[in-house]
Amino acid sequence: MTKAEQIDIRHDGRKLIILPTSGTINRSKEARKLTARIDKAIEGRHSSPLTDLVVDLTNVSWISSAGLNALIRIRRCSTASGVSMHLSSINETVRDVFRITRLERIFLLDEGSADVVESRSR
């Protein structure tokens, strides 16, 4: 199984929950495949439009610039589709990467899990 396949995608009503199961998000080829899978899941929801996209980073211990670029592309796609994107369950190492790159200013970083985001978005 490739890293791009190591991702769980779950639909929960009008919310799409993305759970990478790999410990890292890196390598540009894998990040592009990940982005393509998520874009397809967002665009494939015409019968029941999405309102929220939650990327649950519980299992991610490190993210590279390729992973950050993938998240930026996913955010751009979700925003263009009118979908609010949240990042949840971020450990301190990954959160530091967002702080250092100042990307915490453009992403909604939630302290809790996807379930916490769910209760907030109701």
User: What are the distances in angstroms from CA 30 to CA 49, 55, 87?
Assistant: 27, 16, 19
25: region left, alpha or beta (phi > 0 left; psi from -120 to 50 alpha): beta
Options 3.40.920.10, 1.10.8.620, 3.30.750.24, 3.90.950.10; CATH of 3-114:
3.30.750.24
Question: How many other C-beta atoms can be found within 10 angstroms of the C-beta atom of residue 47?
Answer: 5
Q: Tens digit of pLDDT for each residue in 10-49?
A: 888 889 999 988 788 777 777 887 788 888 877 766 667 7
Cα(82)–Cα(85) distance, integer angstroms: 10
Residue type, 55: V
- Predicted confidence at residue 40, as pLDDT, reads 81
For the segment 69-112, what is each residue's pLDDT rounded down to a tens digit?
999 999 998 898 889 999 999 999 999 999 999 999 999 998 76
In which band, very low, low, confident or very high, does the pLDDT at 120 lie, cut at 50, 70 and 90? very low
C-alpha of 64 from chain center: 14
